A = this chain, B = another copy of it.
Amino acid sequence: MLIFELMKNQNDIAVYLNQHGIKKTAFRVELLDLFFSNSSLTQEEIKEQIKETKNKVTIYRALEAFEKKGIIHKVPDINNVMRYALCQVGCCSEEAHTHNHIHFICKSCKSTYCIEEVKIPNINLPEGYQKEGVRLTVEGVCPRC
User: When the two chains form their complex, are residues B143 and A128 in contact, meaning their CB atoms are under 8 A apart?
Assistant: yes
Residues of chain B within 8 A (CB-CB) of A80 are 76, 80-82
**Residue A135 CB within 8 A of the other chain:** yes
Q: How many copies altogether?
A: 2
Quick check: which of A29-37, A87-95, A118-126 contacts chain B, the rest being far away? Answer: A118-126
- The number of chain A residues with a CB under 8 A from chain B is 32
A76-B76, A80-B82, A82-B80 known; A139+B128 contact, CB < 8 A: no
Contact A135 B136, beta carbon cutoff 8 Å: yes
Q: Which residues of A contact B (CB under 8 A)?
A: 76, 80-82, 102, 104, 107, 115, 117-118, 121, 123-143
